[in-house]
Amino acid sequence: MDLKDKKVLVVGMAKSGIHTVKILNKLGAKITVNDIKKENELGEILSEIKNICSDFILGKHPENIDKFDLIILSPGVPTDIEFVKRAKEKKIPIIGELELAYRLSKGKYIAITGTNGKTTTTALTGEIFKSAGFETFIVGNIGIAAISKALETDENSVLVTEVSSFQLETIKDFKPKISAILNITPDHLNRHKTMENYIEAKTRIFMNQNSSDDIVVLNYDNIETRNLSKKVKCKTVFFSRREKLDEGVFVENEYIVVKLDGNEEYICKVDEIYIPGNHNLENALAAVAISYSYGIKKEIMQKILREFKGVEHRLEFVDEIDGIKFYNDSKGTNPDASIKAIEALKGPLVLIAGGMDKGSSFDEFIDSFKGKVKTLILLGETSNKIKETAIKKGFNNIFLVNNMQEAVTRAFNEAQKNDIVLLSPACASWDMYKNFEYRGRHFKDCVYNLRRS
């Protein structure tokens, strides 16, 4: 992809946007940076790129787009805003950071998406590939932009990539060797508007996979993902926690079993997997399906499944104070993710939830309490919405707080010995925090402050 002297507009200065600018500069492009935030709001972000880019449109979107040869959108930028529509009408190419990374990379992509479990499955799969001796880059929505590693790859590299629906909206040629859709439940409806649009965005992950060597891994237990197999143009590998499959990866007699291409192998016992919960068993099944399909030996998978301790902000044990355990599940950014966290822990639970409203319903979230959640502490813009749902469902032990420090202090005061304080917001973080990582780290800081108080 020859970008030398091409006039490129980069929209959105989040992490991927900064890396995109740096790579474009290396390739000799003439870059214009655009962000709806003003210079004083972007602060130190601009300092990273001011020495390599001098053309900025800040505080608004560009009015004149005719001069640009290419527009690159960061994942957080909606594709239906006015100037993007005009660019499409003028047939100016529009891609995202993931598509740019794909075009510049020489390695093979393993792409993993789904409403929940993406980060854990990506990290777990990446560790298996590393242990198998592949030059492995664990990238994407997991926190390391794929574009930042694109030029470091060669033909033997593997990029194990967590992919969001936002990123998939702007792919064109992106074609992974193996793709996986772990599950689909309602999420991001404030952006995608309908479930149909959300599902359509997810299916783009396999839209270019069409050869007998390409593989799509799907969750048999999730009806939405199971039905997607009808749209797949290459080989499908199912995984299931609940069903014994004629072909695929499943659980039998408390073992993870692979039955593919006439071969049958027992990988390891379910209780040998280090990370707890049925949702993590599903993540492990998906990682095994991907790894086995790539030709990785079962001994390597066994070792990593027994050793892998999970990822930060996903059911992460933080501390135990006066017999009360604290868990950080800030990655629980939708109701289904938080339901899985509640189900994975034994309780009793003092639950901290709330955040930005993505248009989700909280009925099933409250239903999942089932006597396990004894106290609900709410913060953020969804506080009253969740409270109203809880009261409607007959749950009344609720406290509204203004910030995380108040939430943690209240939770500690309400909890008793052998209780668990769980942060699992069931909402996005953007009403109060830059991202879920900042929220999770603030929670951990607040817990550590309890020891000092």
CATH numbers and ranges of domains, the chain: 7-92 (3.40.50.720), 98-307 (3.40.1190.10), 316-452 (3.90.190.20)
Q: Is 221 exposed, middle or buried (0-12, 13-18, 19+ CB in 10 A)?
A: middle
In this predicted structure, what is the pLDDT of residue 76? 80
What are the structure tokens assigned to 172, written together?
């064109």
- 375 belongs to an annotated ligand binding site: no
Q: What letter does residue 157 receive in the DSSP assignment?
A: E
Which of 117, 434, 444 minimizes the C-alpha distance to 285?
A: 117
User: Is residue 452 within a helix (H) or strand (E), and if so which, with residue range?
Assistant: helix 436-452
Q: What letter does residue 311 receive in the DSSP assignment?
A: -
In this predicted structure, what is the pLDDT of residue 189? 58
In this predicted structure, what is the pLDDT of residue 172? 96
- 120 belongs to an annotated ligand binding site: yes
Which of 50, 38, 34 minimizes the C-alpha distance to 87?
A: 34
In this predicted structure, what is the pLDDT of residue 16? 84
Report the C-alpha gap between 170 and 168 in whole angstroms.
5
In this predicted structure, what is the pLDDT of residue 275? 87
- 114 belongs to an annotated ligand binding site: yes
In this predicted structure, what is the pLDDT of residue 54? 82
- Is 163:141 a contact under the CB 8 Å cutoff? yes
In this predicted structure, what is the pLDDT of residue 359? 87
Report the C-alpha gap between 254 and 272 in whole angstroms.
10
Tokens 């957080």 sit at which residue? 76
- 194 belongs to an annotated ligand binding site: no
What are the structure tokens assigned to 133, written together?
């001796």
Q: DSSP 3-state assignment of 162?
A: strand
pLDDT in tens, the chain (453 residues): 799 999 999 999 877 889 999 999 999 999 999 999 898 888 778 888 888 988 999 999 998 899 999 999 988 888 888 999 999 999 999 999 999 999 999 999 999 999 888 999 999 999 999 999 999 999 998 889 999 999 999 999 999 999 998 899 999 999 999 999 999 886 655 655 687 888 988 999 999 999 889 999 999 999 999 999 999 999 999 999 999 999 999 999 999 999 998 899 999 999 999 888 888 999 999 999 999 999 999 999 999 999 998 888 988 889 999 999 999 999 999 998 999 899 989 879 999 999 998 888 999 999 999 999 999 999 999 999 999 999 999 999 999 999 999 999 999 999 999 999 999 999 999 999 989 999 999 999 999 999 876
pTM: 0.80
In this predicted structure, what is the pLDDT of residue 193? 65
Q: What is the 3-state secondary structure (H, E, C) of 115-133?
A: CCCHHHHHHHHHHHHHHCC
- 161 belongs to an annotated ligand binding site: no
Which of 312, 302, 283, 310 minimizes the C-alpha distance to 128?
A: 302
Report the C-alpha gap between 355 and 379 in whole angstroms.
6
In this predicted structure, what is the pLDDT of residue 94? 96
Report the C-alpha gap between 176 and 350 in whole angstroms.
42
